[in-house]
Chain A
Protein backbone atom coordinates (compact mmCIF):
# COMPACT_ATOMS: atom_id res chain seq x y z
CA UNK A 1 0.00 0.00 0.00
CA UNK A 2 1.07 3.57 -0.54
CA UNK A 3 2.28 5.74 2.30
CA UNK A 4 3.51 9.30 2.54
CA UNK A 5 5.99 10.48 5.12
CA UNK A 6 6.54 14.08 6.07
CA UNK A 7 8.91 15.46 8.68
CA UNK A 8 9.48 17.10 11.03
CA UNK A 9 6.04 17.39 12.64
CA UNK A 10 6.82 20.71 14.31
CA UNK A 11 9.56 23.24 13.80
CA UNK A 12 10.43 26.56 15.40
CA UNK A 13 12.94 28.59 13.45
CA UNK A 14 14.32 32.12 13.85
CA UNK A 15 13.78 34.75 11.17
CA UNK A 16 16.52 34.60 8.57
CA UNK A 17 17.37 30.94 9.13
CA UNK A 18 17.18 28.33 6.34
CA UNK A 19 14.44 25.74 5.99
CA UNK A 20 14.27 22.23 4.63
CA UNK A 21 11.13 20.11 4.83
CA UNK A 22 11.15 16.65 3.34
CA UNK A 23 8.42 14.43 1.99
CA UNK A 24 8.72 10.90 0.66
CA UNK A 25 6.17 8.57 -0.86
CA UNK A 26 6.33 4.77 -0.78
CA UNK A 27 4.50 2.13 -2.75
CA UNK A 28 3.95 4.02 -5.99
CA UNK A 29 5.93 5.25 -8.96
CA UNK A 30 5.91 8.57 -10.80
CA UNK A 31 3.45 10.26 -8.44
CA UNK A 32 2.37 13.86 -8.79
CA UNK A 33 3.67 15.67 -5.72
CA UNK A 34 2.41 18.84 -4.09
CA UNK A 35 3.32 21.29 -1.35
CA UNK A 36 0.52 23.22 0.32
CA UNK A 37 0.49 25.80 3.08
CA UNK A 38 -2.45 26.25 5.39
CA UNK A 39 -2.61 29.40 7.49
CA UNK A 40 -4.71 29.35 10.67
CA UNK A 41 -8.42 29.42 9.83
CA UNK A 42 -7.77 29.48 6.12
CA UNK A 43 -7.86 27.04 3.26
CA UNK A 44 -5.08 25.27 1.48
CA UNK A 45 -2.77 27.32 -0.68
CA UNK A 46 -0.92 25.39 -3.37
CA UNK A 47 2.76 26.35 -3.34
CA UNK A 48 4.42 23.91 -5.73
CA UNK A 49 3.55 20.85 -7.73
CA UNK A 50 5.68 18.37 -9.60
CA UNK A 51 4.87 15.82 -12.27
CA UNK A 52 8.36 14.32 -12.39
CA UNK A 53 11.98 14.55 -11.31
CA UNK A 54 13.26 18.12 -11.61
CA UNK A 55 9.89 19.23 -13.00
CA UNK A 56 8.57 21.80 -10.56
CA UNK A 57 5.87 24.38 -11.07
CA UNK A 58 5.46 27.30 -8.71
CA UNK A 59 1.99 28.59 -8.04
CA UNK A 60 2.75 31.58 -5.89
CA UNK A 61 5.85 33.80 -5.98
CA UNK A 62 7.38 33.68 -2.54
CA UNK A 63 10.36 33.12 -0.36
CA UNK A 64 10.24 29.35 -0.84
CA UNK A 65 11.55 26.87 -3.39
CA UNK A 66 10.98 23.19 -4.05
CA UNK A 67 13.07 20.38 -5.48
CA UNK A 68 12.45 16.81 -6.50
CA UNK A 69 15.80 15.05 -6.62
CA UNK A 70 14.25 11.57 -6.76
CA UNK A 71 10.97 10.20 -8.09
CA UNK A 72 9.36 9.89 -4.67
CA UNK A 73 11.11 12.69 -2.78
CA UNK A 74 9.92 16.27 -2.59
CA UNK A 75 11.73 18.97 -0.63
CA UNK A 76 10.55 22.43 0.37
CA UNK A 77 13.30 24.94 1.13
CA UNK A 78 14.02 28.50 2.01
CA UNK A 79 17.32 30.32 2.29
CA UNK A 80 16.02 32.91 4.75
CA UNK A 81 12.74 32.49 6.59
CA UNK A 82 10.33 35.37 7.11
CA UNK A 83 7.73 35.70 9.85
CA UNK A 84 5.06 35.35 7.18
CA UNK A 85 6.36 31.86 6.35
CA UNK A 86 4.77 30.51 9.53
CA UNK A 87 2.00 28.02 8.89
CA UNK A 88 1.06 24.40 8.48
CA UNK A 89 2.84 22.81 5.53
CA UNK A 90 1.37 19.79 3.86
CA UNK A 91 2.82 17.47 1.28
CA UNK A 92 0.49 15.44 -0.91
CA UNK A 93 0.65 12.97 -3.76
CA UNK A 94 -1.72 11.78 -6.46
CA UNK A 95 -1.67 9.15 -9.15
CA UNK A 96 -0.48 10.49 -12.48
CA UNK A 97 -3.56 10.80 -14.65
CA UNK A 98 -5.68 9.38 -11.85
CA UNK A 99 -8.76 11.00 -10.43
CA UNK A 100 -8.91 9.78 -6.89
CA UNK A 101 -7.92 12.94 -5.14
CA UNK A 102 -4.79 13.59 -3.17
CA UNK A 103 -3.30 11.75 -0.23
CA UNK A 104 -1.82 14.11 2.30
CA UNK A 105 1.01 13.74 4.73
CA UNK A 106 0.60 14.53 8.40
CA UNK A 107 1.95 18.05 8.01
CA UNK A 108 4.68 20.23 9.51
CA UNK A 109 3.74 23.09 11.77
CA UNK A 110 6.34 25.81 11.22
CA UNK A 111 6.63 28.77 13.54
CA UNK A 112 9.07 31.48 12.59
CA UNK A 113 10.08 33.62 15.56
Chain B
Protein backbone atom coordinates (compact mmCIF):
# COMPACT_ATOMS: atom_id res chain seq x y z
CA UNK B 1 0.00 0.00 0.00
CA UNK B 2 1.33 3.43 -0.94
CA UNK B 3 1.74 5.92 1.88
CA UNK B 4 -0.26 8.51 -0.02
CA UNK B 5 -3.03 7.65 -2.47
CA UNK B 6 -4.41 10.10 -5.01
CA UNK B 7 -6.74 9.42 -7.92
CA UNK B 8 -4.80 10.36 -11.07
CA UNK B 9 -7.94 11.35 -12.99
CA UNK B 10 -8.19 12.94 -15.47
CA UNK B 11 -10.96 15.09 -14.06
CA UNK B 12 -12.85 17.32 -16.47
CA UNK B 13 -15.26 20.00 -15.27
CA UNK B 14 -17.04 22.99 -16.85
CA UNK B 15 -15.90 26.50 -16.05
CA UNK B 16 -17.45 27.79 -12.83
CA UNK B 17 -17.81 24.35 -11.23
CA UNK B 18 -16.65 23.51 -7.72
CA UNK B 19 -13.76 21.07 -7.87
CA UNK B 20 -12.92 18.61 -5.10
CA UNK B 21 -9.52 16.92 -5.10
CA UNK B 22 -8.63 14.35 -2.48
CA UNK B 23 -5.83 12.28 -1.00
CA UNK B 24 -5.80 9.54 1.58
CA UNK B 25 -2.79 8.46 3.58
CA UNK B 26 -1.81 5.58 5.79
CA UNK B 27 0.65 7.10 8.28
CA UNK B 28 -1.24 8.81 11.09
CA UNK B 29 1.97 10.59 12.14
CA UNK B 30 1.85 13.00 9.18
CA UNK B 31 1.36 16.53 10.48
CA UNK B 32 2.13 18.90 7.60
CA UNK B 33 -0.01 18.83 4.47
CA UNK B 34 0.47 20.63 1.22
CA UNK B 35 -1.07 21.00 -2.20
CA UNK B 36 1.03 21.74 -5.25
CA UNK B 37 -0.12 22.82 -8.69
CA UNK B 38 1.88 21.73 -11.72
CA UNK B 39 1.28 23.12 -15.17
CA UNK B 40 2.35 21.05 -18.13
CA UNK B 41 6.13 20.88 -18.54
CA UNK B 42 6.71 23.06 -15.47
CA UNK B 43 7.85 22.42 -11.92
CA UNK B 44 5.23 22.11 -9.16
CA UNK B 45 4.40 25.28 -7.22
CA UNK B 46 3.14 25.37 -3.65
CA UNK B 47 -0.53 26.26 -3.53
CA UNK B 48 -1.68 25.56 0.02
CA UNK B 49 0.04 24.61 3.25
CA UNK B 50 -1.69 23.41 6.43
CA UNK B 51 -0.58 22.04 9.75
CA UNK B 52 -2.57 19.30 11.50
CA UNK B 53 -6.35 19.24 11.15
CA UNK B 54 -8.70 21.97 10.03
CA UNK B 55 -9.43 24.21 7.10
CA UNK B 56 -7.45 26.90 5.38
CA UNK B 57 -8.81 29.26 2.79
CA UNK B 58 -6.99 31.35 0.23
CA UNK B 59 -9.16 33.07 -2.36
CA UNK B 60 -10.97 30.42 -4.39
CA UNK B 61 -8.98 27.61 -2.78
CA UNK B 62 -9.79 25.77 0.46
CA UNK B 63 -7.62 23.04 1.94
CA UNK B 64 -9.16 20.65 4.43
CA UNK B 65 -7.42 18.10 6.65
CA UNK B 66 -9.25 15.35 8.52
CA UNK B 67 -6.62 13.49 10.51
CA UNK B 68 -9.15 11.13 12.09
CA UNK B 69 -10.02 9.83 8.62
CA UNK B 70 -6.50 10.34 7.21
CA UNK B 71 -8.00 12.31 4.37
CA UNK B 72 -7.16 15.68 2.88
CA UNK B 73 -9.03 17.72 0.30
CA UNK B 74 -8.55 20.73 -1.90
CA UNK B 75 -11.64 22.61 -3.06
CA UNK B 76 -11.57 25.06 -5.94
CA UNK B 77 -14.56 27.39 -6.23
CA UNK B 78 -15.60 29.06 -9.47
CA UNK B 79 -13.05 27.04 -11.41
CA UNK B 80 -11.36 28.71 -14.35
CA UNK B 81 -9.64 27.30 -17.46
CA UNK B 82 -6.39 28.64 -15.96
CA UNK B 83 -6.86 26.12 -13.11
CA UNK B 84 -6.24 23.31 -15.60
CA UNK B 85 -3.15 21.57 -14.24
CA UNK B 86 -2.03 18.55 -12.25
CA UNK B 87 -2.58 18.90 -8.51
CA UNK B 88 -0.30 16.98 -6.17
CA UNK B 89 -0.86 16.47 -2.49
CA UNK B 90 2.17 16.14 -0.24
CA UNK B 91 2.74 15.56 3.45
CA UNK B 92 5.52 15.25 5.97
CA UNK B 93 6.02 13.97 9.47
CA UNK B 94 7.69 17.07 10.82
CA UNK B 95 8.63 20.61 9.97
CA UNK B 96 11.25 20.53 7.24
CA UNK B 97 10.94 16.79 6.88
CA UNK B 98 10.89 14.84 3.65
CA UNK B 99 7.75 15.25 1.64
CA UNK B 100 5.77 12.26 0.48
CA UNK B 101 3.83 13.06 -2.67
CA UNK B 102 0.64 11.66 -4.11
CA UNK B 103 0.56 10.67 -7.74
CA UNK B 104 -1.22 13.85 -8.78
CA UNK B 105 -4.68 14.48 -10.23
CA UNK B 106 -4.93 15.94 -13.71
CA UNK B 107 -7.66 18.59 -13.85
CA UNK B 108 -9.13 20.13 -16.98
CA UNK B 109 -11.54 23.05 -16.73
CA UNK B 110 -13.46 23.53 -19.97
CA UNK B 111 -14.67 27.03 -20.98
Binding site for B on A (CB under 8 A): 6, 32, 41-44, 46, 49, 88, 90, 92, 94-107, 109
Contacts and interface: CB of A to CB of B under 8 A. Distances in A.
The DSSP consensus for interface residues of chain B is loop
Interface of B: 6, 8, 32, 34, 36, 41-46, 49, 51, 88, 90, 92, 94-99, 101-104
A78 B27 CA distance: 34
A101 B33 CA distance: 9
A99 B99 CA distance: 10
Contacts, number: 56
A107 B96 contact: no
Contacts of A42: 103
Given A43-B104, A104-B44, A99 B92 contact: yes
Contact of A95 (B43, B44, B96, B99): B96
